[in-house]
Amino acid sequence: MKKSVTSRGVAATDFWGSLPPWVPGAAIFFGVVGLFLPATRHDFITYDDPVYVTQNDHVTGGLTWANFRWAFQSVEASNWHPLTWLSHMADCQLYGLQPGGHHLTSVLLHALNAALLFVVLRKMTASTWRSFFVAALFALHPLHVESVAWIAERKDVLSTAFMMLTIWAYGHRLQLIRAGTSGAGRFYGLALLFFALGLMSKPMLVTLPCVLLLLDYWPLNRWDESSFVKRWALLGEKIPFFALSVASGAITFIAQRKGGAVASLEDFTWPVRVSNALLAYCRYLGKCLVPQKLAVFYPNFADQAPLWKTSLAALLLVVVTVAAVTLFRRRRYVMVGWLWFLGMLVPVIGLVQTGGQTMADRYTYVPLIGIFIIATWAITDLAVAWSLRPRWLGFAGGLVLVGCAALTTRQLGFWKNNLTLFRHATAVTAENYVAHANLFIALAKTSPAEAKVELEEMKRILGSFAETFEKKGIALAQIPGREEEAIKEFRTAIRIMRDIPGPHFNLGVMLARRPDLRAEAIEELRAALRLRHDFADAHYSLALLLSEIRGRESESIYEYQTAIHFNPGSYQAHFNLGLLLMDIPGRKNEALDHFQSALSARPDLVQAREMIARLQAVGP
């Protein structure tokens, strides 16, 4: 067995050190291809695949000059990722709309990413065994099935390939500098180029410059070799990388704003965002350790979790962070791996909320590498400290990889088609309106009765969710000075589910209190009535509002009459209608009838009695 030296100078057994490096690299590549090859028999799905491929005329048109220009100008799908569009176009050029070819490209990219991860880790750490195990965990973990099996998530596997090439070029540059060999500048430029290409595949890589700084600390150990001034130079050489990140982040934010993908603070307040972010970090860790109940979509209802849950999540993250900082000299990989995990998730952790999901398996594709590094290096160091025999460590590692492969094979099977994928999602998540909606689409032609059930379930979930916000608005409306908050809650309910009348009605009533918002109030009340024509209270509120606007008295009379038709016992409608009619020549008797109806419904209504006496005194 070959002895290797870790970056901290601790002797460790490198079980595969005697093998040529291409052997484990090739084993990873072909092993991943073999494991994921069944995906080439899978279909397109109805969730995002139409936007990215099947119903996108630019993509299905293949690699033409016009489509090339479109790829660089488009912010379709609320993102700017021209290389991702070009990769889909290339697939359509090669395979048409045969899904097997599109899946094959993603599988090959995932296999390449795993092999490149092995190459870059081995290059930086000189540890074949540990680099292999990290790469194998990355390749086989079931959380990563989504990024590979979902054609619309090509951006994950494509951007990661460029990320690995960036790190490779960055590490090779340092190798040339230490060897005193020329060409380091070219590899610096190459690293920048690969990074730019990665950002043009998926902007989630914006935190990669921070990862490069972490790698400077471990395993490259550049901080040990540098004086205080030179350490600042390490940051200075990252400035072009950070500049690319800022530019990409700005473009992405504009694109997502334009596409309506960025949720407002009305939908997701800061307490909700922070709470969700803390819980999401812990859930990702949990699913990394126990990868069960994985779904294509995890619903987010923008409701803040109980304080005790958020507090526990925050405590766990703080404890691990403190432990990582405490070990930052003795076990540097702990802090590097932990900050890799935390930092790479920042763009998608929910502080800038896009979409309706609380979390997504695909978001872990790169961040979990940090956790895999911690686990692999820590377990190996413990094995050395406890003098465990290498074959026992290898046996345990093999069992873990076999378990991951088995779970991945099972999870991959759920991605066969729409029915298997979304039925699984409804089985492992609660109130999953996206899954029910896609099941409705999948069943619409073959089984209309089942499709109708799924549609009604989706409406029930969204209606229940909207009702929660409506109830909050109603409660706030009763509190003086909190009318604006109530309006926000009603607006949120409408955004969630536009085809239920209650939120439109309550919003209309609130807006009617402000003269400058009367036009919008009328539209909201009419929207409620379009959804429920027998909504007597909405007819009454609309009539009351119209009666205050000069020239719209006839509309008001009609709405009062309609309100009375659906609710004959409404004394307010009878009384107010009487007030309008008594000033119209020839309609005093009608007014008298309505005042009498109001009095019958409400015997203690003094105003109605006075109006009756007044009309009777005047005579016909």
% of the chain exceeding 70 in pLDDT: 92
* Buried b / exposed e along 179-204 (16+ C-beta atoms within 10 A): eeeeebeebbebbbebbbbbbbbbbb
Instruction: Decide if 506 contacts 470 (C-beta within 8 A).
Output: yes
According to the model, what pLDDT value does residue 260 have?
54
> How far, in Å, CA of 42 to CA of 517, rounded?
52
Q: Rounded to the nearest 5 degrees, what angle is found at the Cα of 345, between the Cα atoms of 340 and 350?
A: 155
Quick one: tokens of 46?
């109805």
Q: Which of 384, 399, 422 is the last residue of a domain?
A: 422
* Shared domain check, 499 and 418: no
According to the model, what pLDDT value does residue 532 have?
93
Instruction: Decide if 164 contacts 120 (C-beta within 8 A).
Output: yes
pLDDT class of 353 with cuts at 50, 70, 90: low
pLDDT at 355 over 90: no
Q: What mean pLDDT do residues 173-200 have?
A: 95
Q: What average pLDDT is seen over the chain?
A: 90
Task: Please check whether residue 1 lies inside any domain of the structure.
Answer: no
Burial of 522 (0-12, 13-18, 19+ CB in 10 A): buried
The DSSP secondary structure of 460-504, one letter per residue, reads HHHHHHHHHHHHHHHHHHTSTT-HHHHHHHHHHHHHH-TT-HHHH
Task: Please check whether residue 27 lies inside any domain of the structure.
Answer: yes
Nearest CA to 508 out of 479, 543, 555 is that of 543
Question: For the segment 29-40, what is each residue's pLDDT rounded down to a tens digit?
Answer: 999 999 999 999
Of residues 390 and 370, more confidently modeled? 370
* Shared domain check, 226 and 109: yes
Residue 200 neighbours by CB under 8 Å, 6+ apart: 80, 81, 82, 83, 84
Task: At 5, give phi and psi (nearest 5°).
Answer: -115, 125
Domain span including residue 499: 489-618
* Shared domain check, 494 and 387: no
Question: For the segment 287-330, what is each residue's pLDDT rounded down to a tens digit?
Answer: 999 999 999 999 875 556 788 889 999 999 999 999 999 998 88
Question: For the segment 74-115, what is each residue's pLDDT rounded down to a tens digit?
Answer: 988 888 999 999 999 999 999 999 999 999 999 999 999 999
pLDDT at 263 over 70: no
Which residue has tokens 């799924």? 454
pLDDT at 45 over 60: yes
* Shared domain check, 119 and 213: yes
Residue 280 neighbours by CB under 8 Å, 6+ apart: 345, 349, 350, 358, 359
* Shared domain check, 316 and 189: yes
pLDDT at 466 over 90: no
pLDDT class of 253 with cuts at 50, 70, 90: confident
According to the model, what pLDDT value does residue 136 have?
97
* Shared domain check, 259 and 148: yes
> How far, in Å, CA of 101 to CA of 83, rounded?
18
Q: Is the pTM of this model over 0.85?
A: no
Q: What mean pLDDT do residues 166-184 have?
A: 93
pLDDT at 9 over 50: no
Determine which helix (DSSP H) or strand (DSSP E) holds 4, and give its type and residue range.
Answer: strand 2-5
Question: For the segment 503-533, what is each residue's pLDDT rounded down to a tens digit?
Answer: 999 999 999 998 889 999 999 999 999 999 9
Using CA atoms, how far residue 77 sits from 84, 162, 206, 536, in Å, is 11, 21, 19, 42
* Shared domain check, 182 and 276: yes
Q: Which of 402, 422, 442 is the last residue of a domain?
A: 422
Among 380-389, 428-437, 472-481, 560-569, which stretch is predicted with the lowest mean pLDDT? 380-389
